[in-house]
Amino acid sequence: MRTLTRAVKRNDIGGEPLPAVFDTFGKNKIIVRRSEVSMIAGQPGAGKSTLALALALRMQVPTLYICADTNAHTMAMRLLSMITGKSQDESEVLLQNPEQVRPELARAGHLFWSFESAPSLDDLDEEVQAFEEVWGIPPELIVLDNLSDLASDGGEEWSGLRSAMKEIKFLARETNAALLVLHHTSEAFTNGPCPPRAALQGKVAQLPALILTVNSDENYLSVAPVKNRYGKADPSGYHYVRLQWNPAHMYVNDIKEPNAV
């Protein structure tokens, strides 16, 4: 037991913000925080994995990336495109000569990967312990792509997701890491620029401090803060910010024109 006066003297009390990465995120207080669970949700192909990878790459903090949804070759291709600006097709050709691309991929040396296709909660704990054993510190950011790939205990699917979220929140508190979880939204919600909070599958909106839903077109990635304990939010998904985006080149960045919100 301790008073807040004593607790805040520590450097790792929880809630510390990680870099916003994008100016529009900073201006709108869309901030991933340590010791908290944040979520990016959307339909398949909407851009949630691209956004998560861009955040992890640019934050430049020790990161454990649990990539259950995609294999190592594809992630290397995407990461190389994001770093170099080349298309994914060009990057795949370059990967045939690993020594040639090693200097570029070294720019992502703060990212450490797990490609278990159906990790359990125990697997997640073991990956964090292995990270600490190798580097002497826990990760500052843990990305889980995605929640539905987390192996359940055999119970009903939605209740399993809710139970997993409780364990993920506990892990965030125990390690003081920011947990960034990717999740799906129901395809039944088609109105509006971004899915509403109610579209999250499995009713898992209670625990995250930040929930972003995403949608995309040819040139823009729309990001709606449908839940945000530290800033403005609109559960409808109608208030959003936009980022410039080119999925073929894994390009995500601020745009010069004013953003809605």
Read off the pTM: 0.91
Q: What is the pLDDT of residue 258?
A: 56
Q: What is the pLDDT of residue 91?
A: 97
> Which range marks the domain in which residue 217 is found?
4-253
What confidence tier does 12 reach under pLDDT thresholds 50, 70, 90?
low
Residue 174, classed as helix, strand or coil, is helix
CB-based contacts of 107, cutoff 8 Å, min separation 6:
83
Report the CATH number that the domain containing residue 183 is assigned in CATH.
3.40.50.300
Q: What is the pLDDT of residues 222-237, one digit of tens each?
A: 999 999 999 999 999 9
What confidence tier does 1 reach under pLDDT thresholds 50, 70, 90?
very low
Please check the confidence at residue 259 and state whether its pLDDT lies above 60. no
Q: What is the pLDDT of residue 203?
A: 85
Mean of pLDDT values over 58-80: 95
What is the C-alpha separation between 174 and 134, in angstroms, rounded? 18
What confidence tier does 150 reach under pLDDT thresholds 50, 70, 90?
confident
Please check the confidence at residue 10 and state whether its pLDDT lies above 90. no
The reply to whether 122 falls in a domain is yes
Q: What is the pLDDT of residue 92?
A: 96
The reply to whether 258 falls in a domain is no
β-strands 63-67, 141-145 pairing: parallel
The reply to whether 97 falls in a domain is yes
| Count of domains for the chain | 1
The reply to whether 32 falls in a domain is yes
Q: What is the pLDDT of residue 219?
A: 93
The reply to whether 260 falls in a domain is no
Mean of pLDDT values over 23-39: 97
Other C-beta atoms within 10 Å of 133: how many? 8
Please check the confidence at residue 191 and state whether its pLDDT lies above 90. no
Q: What is the pLDDT of residue 155?
A: 57
Please check the confidence at residue 261 and state whether its pLDDT lies above 60. no
The reply to whether 261 falls in a domain is no
What is the C-alpha separation between 215 and 232, in angstroms, rounded? 19
Please check the confidence at residue 13 and state whether its pLDDT lies above 80. no
Mean pLDDT of the chain: 90
Instruction: Supply 222's token pair.
Output: 């729309």
